[in-house]
Structure formats: structure tokens, C-alpha cells
Structure 1
Amino acid sequence: MINFLHTFQPQPLILKLGPFAIHWYGFLMIVGGLLGFSLILWLIKKYQLDKKFFEDLLFWWVVGAIIGARIYYVIYAWEMYKDNWLDIFKLWQGGLAVHGIMIGGLITTFVYCRIKKKDFLLTADLVVTGLVTAQIIGRVGNYFNQEIFGKPTNLSWGIPIEPAFRPEQFLNSNYFHPTFIYESLGNILILIILFLIHKYRFKKKQFLPGQIFFSYLVLYSILRFSLEFLRVDYSPVVFGVRWAQLLSAIIALTFILLISIRFARKQSLQSTDEAISNA
């Protein structure tokens, strides 16, 4: 596998027949999405939830996530699009920001839950489990588009990047860190952690909705913050750090605080109940 990454030259297309083309990026996004939703359906059975609600939510979640992902990316990389407006609609070329997917998808989920009078936090627990599954597969699409790679490296798993896709300061470098692969591996670890929390819930039959949702936001933000040190693609710099790093730090710290507050409240309630029962 390591040697394969070092020698294989990725191409964006799987198949092209006349004007019809299948791109690896789009194909892997769809595969990842289907796997993620399959996992959500399995969790629905375990939690004994309304399957129809989640099936209806899927369509609106995808719409919200794609719109959010594209708007976020276009704002993020405005210099690329300000003179090429039509490129905004070329989704097959890449440019769907994960933070935008999170924001757009979760806003859609919140609104839909309010309309249907469902528990948003419990719904979000299942949604983010499917989301991180989709991220594991979908991120590999960046490999075939030769985008979102890291700094030059001499490590044996460094990937070749064509000169046309290299940043100007690295035109003479041949091999780069596959940061998208690192992110996929990190997301596998996150999925394992989330699944273990789900498993604990099944066993105890008691849980606090939102625990998995908050955990995902913290864990992914820490992963993304770390990987941004390696990435060389364009990014606005705010307070001396890349924008995605700043946003990831804000999200991680905010939800670590919320998790701590919820845990403290739970412990306080348990202590109160024990005191009452012993009185």
C-alpha cells in the first residue's frame, strides 16, 4: 500500500464516454454517503426509532449539507471564484468543505427536528455517526483530484503530485504528505470511539442525548486542527493561524466546555438523589 501511494499517479475520472463522465470524487462521496446512511439505519433499529423520519430527513440533510459545504468553500476560497462564477456550480471538481457540511447538515437537521417535533440531540447522535463514516470514504476523493495534500516529504508513503497542482513555492518538490489519508485514518478512530459509546448505551439502556454529537465535534476538530499544520492549500490566515484551525479550536473548546458542564450537572443530580434516598 505504501509503495502504491508512492508510485501511482491518480486520475480524477473513473470512466468517460463522450460527454458522460464518472469522477472518483463524486463516486466516493456517494459510496461514503450510502455506507453512512446504512449505519444510521442499523442504529435506528437498535434505538427503536422512527425509520420513516430518518429516511425523510436524509433528502433534506443532503441538500442542506451540499449547499452549506459549497457556500462555505466558495467564501473560504473566494479568490478562486470571484472572476469565475460558473465554476461555483462545478461540484465534480471538488470543493465541498467539511465544516460547511457540518454546518449546513446540522442546521437542516435542527430545523427538520423542530418541524417534526423530534429530539434534535438524539437525532444528531445518529447523524454524526453516519457523517464520519461518509468522511472516511469521501476524503479519499481528494487523492484522485490531487488536492488538499500536505507539505513535501521524503517518507515512503509520500504521494506524487503533478506540477499543475503544486503550490508555487513547492514546484520543485515531487512527493507530498497525503493529509486526506491521514484524515480518513483519524476518522476511522473517531468512528470506533463513537461506536463504543453507542455500544455502552445499548448495554446500560440509559444515556444523555447529544453525548455522541458533542464527542464527534470535539474529536474531529482536534483531528482537523492537527492536520492543518501539514496542509499547503490556500487558506485565509486569522490571528496567525489558518482559518480552519481557528474554527476547529473554537468548536473543540466550546464543546469540551459543554460536555464538562453537562457532566457536572449529571454528577450533581446523582449526588442529590443519593442524599435524598439516604435521608
Structure 2
Amino acid sequence: MPILGALNPVAFSLGSIEVRWYGIIIASAVVIATYLSVREGKKRGIVEDDIYDLILWGLPVAIICARIYYVVFEWGYYSQNLSQIYRIWDGGIAIYGGLIGAVIVLVILCKKRNISSWLMLDVAAPTVIMAQGIGRWGNFMNQEAHGRATTLSFLRELHLPDFIIKQMNIAGTYYQPTFLYESVWDLTGFVLLMLLRHQEHLFKRGEVFFAYVIWYSFGRFFIEGMRTDSLMLGPLRVSQWLSVVLFLGAIIWLATRRYWRPLNPWYLDGTDETYHK
């Protein structure tokens, strides 16, 4: 039973089926992200059905890859409990695994349909980080993805609403609301990308995506270090190692493309250019 004052993670029940807030929040984030991507895609010359197909194929693959990623780095447990591998409803997915799976699907789909994968990534990137920011509130409802134990006075010093403070009280102990830190970081990144994306001669094709990777991985490195439920690999968490690789890789790749391919089209050129990659 949830403690007094905590929010119920179950929104409603349909017979024996419980519909949880986590699923509702994630589904809502996907719907909003799809709408915004379709609207932006039309401006850049991307057919609406291509984005819908990307969601149709990308979402299930992303979920599967998110689970595989988690299981691989928790193999010590799952190797002894093979029957638990597929029980995704019991928890255990990793967002980085999901993002990797979604990008793979995107690249394959774009190649088959002769669409610039960089342009598609640019269209999707701001809405993906927006969905990530919204999705963290699903973790909030489940009282998960939190940080280390803290005090009530500390949470009050952050000037948080009472409903957040109460939800951070788990079994009588208050915890750092790292879900909130990441949500704010992600949504701030979304606003910045949306404001900057349409500036003339700012982003070459692919660079909106690189900006997303740089922003997200930088914040994720520090926030991940505050969490208590992360997968470990040596002295750092797995997501911290990957954040370092992505952060440095995106900066180097962006700079290299700018130097060696100065004639790459601008993002705002859309599909009018004959550039495909």
C-alpha cells in the first residue's frame, strides 16, 4: 500500500487490468512528439506517413532494445533467472537502449525511402527530448528513478510543491527528486532547440540532432551520478560512460563535418537539396 500522501500509480482499473499513470504519461508524450514531428516534417518536405511509419516500427523496437540493454548489464541476475527476461512489466528498461534502437530503425527506414536520415533526426530530436522530459513524470508516479536519501528540510529549500515532496517520501525516507532534475533539463533543452532550430544559417543538416545529443548527454552524466538504481560498470554508471562517449563523439563529429563538408545543406533547406545520406 502506498504511504499516506503518496499518489496512486494506478490511474484506473478495467476489470483485472490496471492502467497505470506511467503508461498514460508515456503514451501522451509519444502522441505530442508525433504531432510536433509531423508538423515540422511538413515544413521540411518529409511526408507525414513516413513519420507515422517511423513511430509504428520504431516504438516497439525501442522498447525491445531498452529491455535488452538493461538485461545485458544486469546479466548476473538474469542469467540465473532466465524466465524474468521477458517480464518487462515488472520494470527494467534503459532509455539509452531505446534511443539506440529507434535510431537504427530511423536509419533503415530513411535509406529505404531515400530520405536524409540526418534531416529526419533533426526533425525528431527536439520532440524526443520533450518526450523524455514528460516521461520522467511516469517515474515520479512510480516513485522510482530517484536519488539518494535526503531530508525534508532540503526538499523544502528547493521550493517544491507539496505533492512532489510527499511523493519523494518512500517508506518513511525522503529521496532526491532526480526525475525532476532530468525532466527540467530535458524540457529546457526542448525549448532551446525549438527556439534555435529555425534561426537562419545556424544549424547544418544533422546539427540539431548533434545539439540534442550534446545537451542530453551532458545533463544525464551528472544526474545519473545522483541516482541509486542505475546499472554500474566499474567506478561509474553505465549511462555515465555512454554519456561521455556520446558527448565527446557528437562534438567531434559535428566539428569534423563542418570542416570537411562545408557545403552540406542547412537544416532549413529541407528536402529541396539533392543531398541524401
Coarse TM-score class (shorter-chain normalised) = 0.7 to 0.9
User: 1:21 & 1:63 partners in 2: Cα distance?
Assistant: 21
The correspondence of residues 157-236 of structure 1 with structure 2, limited to 5 A, is: 157=160, 158=165, 159-163=167-171, 174-200=173-199, 204=200, 207-236=203-232
CA distance in 1, matches of 2:238, 2:202: 38
Q: CA deviation at 1:129?
A: 2.0
SS at match of 1:11: coil
Report sequence identity in percent: 30
2:173 alignment partner AA: N
> Pairwise mapping of residues 12-91 of structure 1 onto structure 2 (< 5 A)?
12-91=9-88
> Within 2, Cα distance between the matches of 1:206 and 1:232?
39
In structure 2, the residue corresponding to 1:139 is in which secondary structure? helix
Matched-pair contact (CA < 8 Å) for 1:194–1:216: yes
Q: Whole-Å Cα distance in 2 between the matches of residues 94 and 43 of structure 1?
A: 33
Q: CA deviation at 1:67?
A: 1.2
Counterpart residue identity of residue 212, structure 2: Y
Residue pair 1:183, 1:224 contacting (<8 A) in 2 also: yes
Q: Following TM superposition, by how much is the alpha carbon of 1:161 offset from its aligned partner in structure 2, in angstroms?
A: 4.1
Scaled by the length of structure 1, what TM-score is found? 0.82
Structure-2 residue corresponding to 1:3 = none
Q: Quote the RMSD (CA, aligned, Å).
A: 2.4
Distance 1:208 1:64 in 2: 29
Paired residue type of 2:221: F
In the TM superposition, residue 162 of structure 1 has moved relative to its aligned partner by 3.0
Task: Tell me how far apart the structure 2 counterparts of residues 206 and 230 of structure 1 sit (CA, whole Å).
Answer: 34
The residue aligned with 2:255 is 260
**Alpha carbons 1:25, 1:94 under 8 Å: kept:** no
Structure 1 gap ranges (5+): 1-6, 164-172, 270-279
Alpha carbons 1:16, 1:22 under 8 Å: kept: yes
More helix by share: 1
